[in-house]
Amino acid sequence: MAVTVRIAALLASLLVVGALGGAPASANPGDPPGALVFGGLQRTYVLHVPPGLDHPSGLVISLHGAGQTGGEQASLTNYNAVADRHGFVVAYPDGIDFSWADGRGASVPDREGVDDVGFLATLIDRLSHDYGIPAGRVFVTGMSAGAFMANRLACDRADLISAIAPVAGTLGAGVPCNPSRPVSVMQVHGTADPVVPFDGGPMVGRGGASDIISAPALADRWRAIDGCPAPVADPGGFTATGCAGGTEVVFVSIDGAGHTWPSGQGFDASAASGQFFASR
């Protein structure tokens, strides 16, 4: 019986993976889950391809917060509508133990040595191949722990990513960031975030304690990494254009906002990040 169950599970996995290898025209309108095996683990994700899309304008990887799933990230952000508007394929991966190995050591996958950078790079390679994503048109966004992971991925694999839009998350204080090329960044953070402090320092999340960079300091770090000129001040933030390689760094500070994916208060993180990606 155990052998039969294992064979059935393997066949199911192969069917799911095989279905993803087809042309975009065969992509399911019902946002099916996908799967791939990486590092000895079967990893899963939800994929959305706009109906009738033959030539995607880009790929967006949207990363959930701690304690959430890819499907819940899709619901929270309503990013499918953004993908439909801009012609993006969007994938919502699932983290091990509902979290990510973002380098802080404050999650189960981090402590168990899960290679989430490698998993996400493999997922990007697969989807870029399967859906004919144009070169230089891969983008990453994420909420909270997903934002930490988006920043780490850009630090480690800038060769794969053109732009990121982390929301309510920064980077671990001890996590190195030496990207191989400039990356455009739209960083969004509420000044009253009770979980990921705007001013950085110690924080305690679902997986434990860590020490993090403040939101303004990380925005300034990206501006330095990208070789940007002096920025233009916005209310609470800034916009820096004319950076190396045509990149741009935008810091959106939302006064009084907490630990949330903004969709009101005059700012919609989904619409804004989608437009930011589309303009790269």
pLDDT tens series, the chain, 280 aa:
333 322 233 333 333 333 333 333 323 345 557 999 999 999 999 999 999 999 999 999 999 999 999 999 999 999 999 999 999 999 999 999 999 999 999 999 999 999 999 999 999 999 999 999 999 999 999 999 999 999 999 999 999 999 999 999 999 999 999 999 999 999 999 999 999 999 999 999 998 999 999 999 999 999 999 999 999 998 889 999 999 999 999 999 999 999 999 997 689 999 999 999 999 9
Tokens of 201: 């320092």
Are 120 and 70 contacting, i.e. CB atoms less than 8 angstroms apart?
A: no
DSSP 8-state symbol, 259: S
Strand partners, 225: none
Dist CA 246 CA 181 (whole Å): 11
State how beta strands 88-93 and 41-48 pair. Answer: antiparallel
Phi-psi region of 204 (alpha: psi -120 to 50; beta: other; left: phi over 0): beta
Question: Selecting from 3.10.130.10, 2.60.120.1600, 3.40.190.170, 3.40.50.1820, what CATH number does the domain 2-278 have?
Answer: 3.40.50.1820
Say what the pLDDT of residue 3 is: 30
CA 264 to CA 80: how far, in whole Å? 18
HSE at residue 168, side-chain half, CA atoms within 13 A, is: 25
Vertex 276: Cα angle to 270 and 241 (nearest 5): 140
pLDDT the model gives residue 31: 58
Cβ atoms of residues 222 and 249 within 8 Å: yes
Evaluate whether 113 touches 39 at the Cβ level (below 8 Å).
no
Nearest to 166 by CA among 191, 185, 194, 193: 185
Asked if residue 257 lies in contact with residue 193, where contact means CB atoms within 8 angstroms, the answer is yes
Cα–Cα distance measured from residue 80 to residue 84, given in angstroms and rounded to the nearest whole number: 6
Pull the structure tokens for residue 104. 């802080």
Residue 128 to residue 134: CA distance in whole angstroms: 8
Residue type, 240: A
Name residues whose C-beta falls within 8 Å of residue 75's C-beta, 6 or more positions apart in sequence.
none
Asked whether 215 and 279 are in contact (CB, 8 A), the reply is no
Q: Which of 62, 123, 57, 108 is nearest to 84 (CA)?
A: 57
Using a cut of 0.95, tell me whether the model's pTM lies above it.
no
φ, ψ of residue 75 in degrees (nearest 5): -70, -40
